[in-house]
Amino acid sequence: MATPCDVAIIGGGVVGTSVAYFLKQLAPTARVAVIERDSTYEFASTLRASGGARRQFSCPENVAMSNFSIPFIASADATLAVDGESAHVEWRAGGYLLIVGPDAVDTLRANYELQCAQDVAADWLDADALRARFPSMNVDGIAAGVHTPGDGWCDPNGLLQGLRRKSRSLGVRYIDASVVGIEHDAQVARGVRIESGAIVAADYIVNAAGAWSREIAAMVGMPLPIEPLRRFEHYFETPNVIEPLPYVKDTARLAFRPEGRGYSGGLVDSDETRGYNFDVDHGYFERAVWPALAERFPAFEACRCRRTWAGLYEQNELDGNPVIGNWPARMENFFVVAGFSGHGMMHAPAAGRAVAELIVDGRFATLDLSRLGYRRIAEHAPYRERGIV
């Protein structure tokens, strides 16, 4: 039997580590353990993410999570400092720009109004305004865009390491082990079994295993529709001069942002076969990404892809939104915080705080995220995000 704890968090990526950090903020004496099987995070989604953080969503919960998370990330270098040494999150408030054709303009307008009502600084740009603001952009087929100048991007590994170092300094215990089972009876989870056979007894168990969270949920018999979805990220350069760009996204799921001398981004293939596949298809950039880039920004006709890597989205197949909460009426001390479907880095601070509140206060104390709970999964009642995903 390993040393027991109050809360055992399975998965020490940015989401699990954020839960640990906020638990120690709310309950400094709580005994919190994070069980992470790979402290190098070789395959963790967090280290393969693009780092984007935006407020442009259609579900008010997602906007609200960004409204908390983005200022948290922006000031994390200081907040997460340990013994006077700051974190290295490298936040850049480069802004976000979502662009749509005529078929999606009503949705964009509705989302824009919702975001404004939630105090997001956002600019509505019609095609002429887009052309004037971003002269390199070909606006053929584009009806409008929304620019949110306070959004931006960071180094996801910097955020993870900052949260991890700070959490450890506050007393969070990291256990380097693979979780192979969960001890439980009909209604209560009792502890986490690791590969040595030892059991970490816990009053609360949190499943923050990202793309692997369905397997962790299955250990207590909980069905969770979260699947690993491979997505490529590319670093590319062009010799042509382009004005400073924000993080640009369109409805075909092309998304990219400036990075160093070049750009980082990709184009999600939603039809990709689900599975733990990290193979890189070196033809994908040329086949799918480059034509989309060059059509929208002709300056990219001359671009060159310097590096491609593959990572996993933890895709919620029901509705593309995260599952945040416990298993109501079944195993109330077992919590899930997964299924962010491409937004887990940006929403990790808010989701971590929310789960910490559920455990410490027994309710959402700041943001009401109940619509993102497990109930909708059990009832097969999707709550869909209608921003550009």
Ligand X SMILES: Cc1cc2nc3c(=O)[nH]c(=O)nc-3n(C[C@H](O)[C@H](O)[C@H](O)COP(=O)(O)OP(=O)(O)OC[C@H]3O[C@@H](n4cnc5c(N)ncnc54)[C@H](O)[C@@H]3O)c2cc1C
Longest distance between any two alpha carbons in the chain, whole Å: 67
The yes or no reply on residue 258 touching ligand X (CB under 6 A) is no
Rule CB under 6 A: choose which of 158, 162, 311, 349 binds ligand X.
311
- Closest by CA to 15, choosing from 326, 267, 354, is 354
CA dihedral in degrees (195, 199, 204, 207; nearest 10)? 10
Distance between CA atoms of residues 37 and 46, nearest Å: 15
The yes or no reply on residue 356 touching ligand X (CB under 6 A) is no
Nearer to ligand X, 80 or 209 (CB): 209
C-alpha to C-alpha distances, 221 to 185, 197, 331, nearest whole angstrom: 11, 20, 10
The yes or no reply on residue 35 touching ligand X (CB under 6 A) is yes
> Coil, strand, or helix at residue 314?
strand
Rule CB under 6 A: choose which of 2, 30, 33, 52 binds ligand X.
52
Rule CB under 6 A: choose which of 96, 256, 297, 313 binds ligand X.
313
Q: By CB under 6 A, which span of 40-48, 89-97, 282-290, 298-306 interacts with ligand X?
A: 40-48
Rule CB under 6 A: choose which of 191, 320, 344, 373 binds ligand X.
344
- DSSP secondary structure of 193-235: EETTS-EEEEEEEEE--GGGHHHHHHTTT----EEEEEEEEEE
Q: How many CA atoms lie within 13 A of 23 on its CB side?
A: 29
Q: By CB under 6 A, which span of 36-44, 71-79, 324-332, 372-380 interacts with ligand X?
A: 36-44
Nearer to ligand X, 13 or 246 (CB): 13
Q: What are phi and psi of 156, to 5 degrees?
A: -60, -35
The yes or no reply on residue 217 touching ligand X (CB under 6 A) is no
Nearer to ligand X, 139 or 377 (CB): 377
Distance between CA atoms of residues 263 and 3, nearest Å: 46
The yes or no reply on residue 164 touching ligand X (CB under 6 A) is no
Distance between CA atoms of residues 293 and 359, nearest Å: 45
Rule CB under 6 A: choose which of 49, 73, 100, 182 binds ligand X.
49
Rule CB under 6 A: choose which of 36, 155, 227, 385 binds ligand X.
36
Q: By CB under 6 A, which span of 57-65, 92-100, 283-291, 341-349 interacts with ligand X?
A: 341-349
- DSSP secondary structure of 89-136: ---B---EEEEE-GGGHHHHHHHHHHHHHTT---EEEEHHHHHHH-TT
The yes or no reply on residue 211 touching ligand X (CB under 6 A) is yes
Question: Tokens for 69?
Answer: 């998370």
Q: How many residues bind ligand X (CB under 6 A)?
A: 40
Interacting residues with ligand X between 1 and 30 (CB under 6 A): 10-16
Nearer to ligand X, 34 or 331 (CB): 34
Nearer to ligand X, 10 or 318 (CB): 10
Nearest-approach distance from CB 66 to ligand X, in angstroms: 9
Nearer to ligand X, 99 or 208 (CB): 208
Burial readout 236-257 (b: 16 or more C-beta within 10 A, e: otherwise): bbbeeebeebbbbbbbebbbbb
Rule CB under 6 A: choose which of 2, 100, 209, 331 binds ligand X.
209
Nearer to ligand X, 95 or 342 (CB): 342
The yes or no reply on residue 327 touching ligand X (CB under 6 A) is no
The yes or no reply on residue 159 touching ligand X (CB under 6 A) is no
Nearest-approach distance from CB 50 to ligand X, in angstroms: 4
Distance between CA atoms of residues 230 and 273, nearest Å: 8
The yes or no reply on residue 249 touching ligand X (CB under 6 A) is no
Question: Tokens for 245?
Answer: 């760009």
The yes or no reply on residue 208 touching ligand X (CB under 6 A) is yes
Question: Tokens for 363?
Answer: 């309710």
- Closest by CA to 290, choosing from 303, 309, 308, is 303
C-alpha to C-alpha distances, 349 to 31, 213, 315, 353, nearest whole angstrom: 20, 19, 19, 6
Nearer to ligand X, 155 or 314 (CB): 314
The yes or no reply on residue 158 touching ligand X (CB under 6 A) is no
Residues engaged in binding ligand X (CB under 6 A): 10-16, 35-38, 41, 44-46, 48-52, 178-179, 208-212, 231, 233, 311-314, 338, 340, 342-346
